[in-house]
Structure 1
């Protein structure tokens, strides 16, 4: 456990330096505020060291009438009457306490304000950076972990900076100051006083390590209890249907008992530590009082000096006990800061290349030139894909699931870059365009179109920020969405639920189409836009899609081959290669894979239709 504490202490310095270097641009903007706060902290510490001295002077100078105990700076006190001197020293007690409170307020408030400003900017930068990281990054990292880094880790860093790091610094400065003053007063008593510190540090570090271990176990058990409770409540219908009550209650009882035992062990250790600290404090106080009393009798020390030592010792033990706890908390906060830095240091694979320029208004011609792509070297998704699309043409991408159809669309949007080959729009490689100017000219309607938990009007304007209300309504009418929007309680100002959960599937798709339509994009990607919709919704969506794609270069990804019959060209893709290409009649005449799949779908649809009629 001692080694664990030493490891945490050793890790604090390089970890803190790493965070300071990374966040220095934000810190530098607040250097005056931070410097003033640190100066106020030093003043507060100095005033804390000064607090017992008026009592020493009252004890020695007033009660014992000694005038030789005043330093030169207080030489004027020798000429004062005892009553005036007592009054002056009593006022000084209040003045020191008041000044210390003011400096404590200034240091705490100033550092807290600086920490909030710095870490709020860091959090904004982290959020912005995560949004711009490549899709491959987001597929590797869990969304919950990224959310924790933006919220919990930054918040813990902020809280520890304010509530732990600043007090830790104050405690260190206080202890060093006390040791210096004690050696100045009497080196022998100072050695006795600090001689107990190593024993105190070893003992408390050992016990604090055990407490931390038990606390971590307890938190893990509490997390397991929360998971079990959440899972049970979320699946309550299954629990009741299968009569799983007794079994789940038994599991819960085992987890609850384990959590209770770990909590009790942690409490026992904390109580024992508190008692041990009191005993150690009493031991060193007894030794100091015993030796200092002998020195007073020998006239080498004044009673007021003894008062200083006793006060410092009683004051020093609390910072010593806190430091061991604060080291662990600071170490955890540094770990949180480094988790945020790990993300900030991550370079997006897809980004604006040097020399990239803003894309001109596209005409809509697209070329894939020997495009190969793989997420990892062991598995190739696309292999030397070649095809050309003229402006305004409709191209269908069909084939089995996992054949690479959606990957082609992702490459066109530069969500990924090809491993080999290139994609051209209007004769230029899309990597020569700035990302935002490329994506702003491509509209996308997906199978599961995501809406945000804002108003319908805002969801549509996300397609083109700054669009007017008239443009929003025009886009909604084009998408066959205006009528059902007006039937909602607040019309266009109706707030939709998370991911559009308060709307039906067909309504969500039509809002997504309106969002795509408001861009007036020369290139449109439709990725299974009608899958899962009922007949009426599919008809309304198809009408909207026909209006959306009129005059635009369109890529339609679909498993429903009837939906692609009218496309200018159909590309049949399997295992990352284009195996067949042509119009619907041409592919049917080839009697290849496309024709076989088309007939199979028709036969299945006919059987389902007959079955539906018979059941009706």
Structure 2
């Protein structure tokens, strides 16, 4: 509307003052000037609202996609999650979502606005002079077609940039997490060269993409320049044959001027679309790449149960085969066996970090697969070196499972795990902030907090996955005290003979199967496989 209004006003102004110069007066100039001012203000206001609305549209869409991605991420089994690099996962949430936002906010919105503007401009041009409209259209259409051809090259370039950026991001994330290993191994220079090679390849891919983008913008610029020149030449011819007026030619040139930003926007739109297209592919691969744990109804009544756990003919590909076992309420079960025997998978089934492909796992007569995973946190708790502390305060980590835990319960857990002694040595006590993984604390201090977090609220089932590994004497005493005093059922994966002997029952596993079960001392005495397992482990410890 503002485009058509401006064109009509320009045509009237020039035709009137050229054909009727005596009509030129201050009053008429003021009225025409006010008309142009009003149209300019309306156009500026609409541009501002366009940008705000486009950003709201893009941010709203990206917010929804981000929450879908996080819901999928939080439902993935840990084993599947560990198969992906941190860098590739972060690219889903940062790089890919940024590309989607740019497409919706700067691409899709501009298609609508530019489409309306170009259509309106060509319509206005056709109304005042159809020969000029045909001339401009004959230039714009081939220019648009050439841009579409270059778009295929841009898609390839965008994919290569995305691939190279993923390699570099994954490597850098790994280096940040394991820089100490690099340093003590004397591989700093080698890793630096590796990053330099990856950065150089990313640089080359970005430059190649810039060439294609530059070509697209060159086509857009050339199209508008040629359209302006063609309109001027055709207008001069028409004026010379008295088939149009100078005002019409000036109005036509103004229309071409209106087309310039819209054509430039369309050139960028294809750039945004190709980037978003690659990101959409990667997001679909992420969402389709692994089967998440299926959510179901809430726990309902489990909190009042006894902690009776039954595995019935459970199988998980690559981990367990027809596994059946029973843990009676209040017992301590030591799950032992060589690496790869499926011990951690047994615990993951109870915590619903993975679901069985066949068979059932029942807690107090209820199938865990029919319970909501998030609602199990009060009845099933896990302590493991693979579940590190989070960045934030010590209190945040202690209460992470039960954010509204009463002070009496917190005091009990702090006393049992020796946390009060630890806090006495810290400047801000419970409010002391720790880094991700608790790297600012000693190994023993970290393990005490991990154990305290796990036993908060006295869960019915306490799962200890290698939680007794590399403990200092103080943390070892805390661990032993938990085994003795915990009122619920305990499943403990361990390689330590001392911990196994403290259990009521020992499950010995090999190759995903339960081979032997019984009292620890009896199995050590009468089952050579169990005795040999602990003997070999002790030899490995002494050798290391």
Pairwise TM-score range, normalised by the shorter structure: 0.7 to 0.9
How far apart, in 2, do the equivalents of 1:373 and 1:261 lie?
42
Match of 1:372 among 315, 318, 327: 315
How far apart, in 2, do the equivalents of 1:367 and 1:152 lie?
45
TM-score scaled by length of structure 2: 0.85
- Please name the residue that 1:586 is paired with: 522
How far apart, in 2, do the equivalents of 1:236 and 1:442 lie?
34
State the shift of 1:92 in Å: 0.8
How far apart, in 2, do the equivalents of 1:397 and 1:48 lie?
77
How far apart, in 1, do the equivalents of 2:67 and 2:251 lie?
49
State the shift of 1:457 in Å: 0.4
Question: Are 2:538 and 1:595 aligned?
Answer: no
List runs of 5+ in structure 1 lacking aligned partners.
1-45, 68-79, 612-616
State the shift of 1:576 in Å: 1.8
Residues 1:140 and 1:277: Cα distance change in structure 2 (over 3 Å): closer
State the shift of 1:254 in Å: 11
- Please name the residue that 1:329 is paired with: 272
In 1, are the aligned partners of 2:310 and 2:324 still within 8 Å (CA)?
A: yes
- Please name the residue that 1:392 is paired with: 330
Residues 1:345 and 1:361: Cα distance change in structure 2 (over 3 Å): farther
What whole-Å deviation, never above 9, does each CA across 1:333-367 have from its counterpart, x for those lacking one? 24434644665678954324479855352201222
State the shift of 1:242 in Å: 8.1
State the number of aligned residues: 542
How far apart, in 1, do the equivalents of 2:175 and 2:535 lie?
47
Specify the SS of the correspondent of 2:448. helix
Match of 1:173 among 116, 139, 158: 116
Q: Please report the RMSD computed on the Cα atoms of aligned residues, expressed in angstroms.
A: 3.9
Residues 1:251 and 1:120: Cα distance change in structure 2 (over 3 Å): closer
What whole-Å deviation, never above 9, does each CA across 1:428-458 have from its counterpart, x for those lacking one? 3333433333342012111344111010001
Residues 1:282 and 1:399: Cα distance change in structure 2 (over 3 Å): closer
Match of 2:455 among 505, 514, 517: 517
Question: Are 2:479 and 1:542 aligned?
Answer: yes
Residues 1:486 and 1:470: Cα distance change in structure 2 (over 3 Å): farther
How far apart, in 1, do the equivalents of 2:376 and 2:170 lie?
44
Specify the SS of the correspondent of 2:304. coil
- Please name the residue that 2:34 is paired with: 91
Question: Are 2:51 and 1:59 aligned?
Answer: no
In 1, are the aligned partners of 2:107 and 2:268 still within 8 Å (CA)?
A: no
Residues 1:433 and 1:116: Cα distance change in structure 2 (over 3 Å): closer
Where does 1:145-544 land on structure 2 (aligned, <5 Å)? 145-206=88-149, 259=203, 263=207, 281=224, 283-337=226-280, 339-340=282-283, 349-353=292-296, 357=300, 359-374=302-317, 379=318, 381-534=319-472, 536-544=473-481
- Please name the residue that 1:37 is paired with: none
Where does 1:138-149 land on structure 2 (aligned, <5 Å)? 138-149=81-92
In 1, are the aligned partners of 2:402 and 2:457 still within 8 Å (CA)?
A: yes
How far apart, in 2, do the equivalents of 1:248 and 1:363 lie?
56
State the shift of 1:513 in Å: 1.2
Specify the SS of the correspondent of 2:509. strand
Is the deviation greater in 111-120 or in 269-278? 269-278
State the shift of 1:392 in Å: 1.0
- Please name the residue that 1:552 is paired with: 488
What whole-Å deviation, never above 9, does each CA across 1:488-546 have from its counterpart, x for those lacking one? 11100011111111111111111011112212112211111121223x24433334423
- Please name the residue that 1:50 is paired with: 5
Question: Are 2:500 and 1:577 aligned?
Answer: no
How far apart, in 1, do the equivalents of 2:59 and 2:77 lie?
29
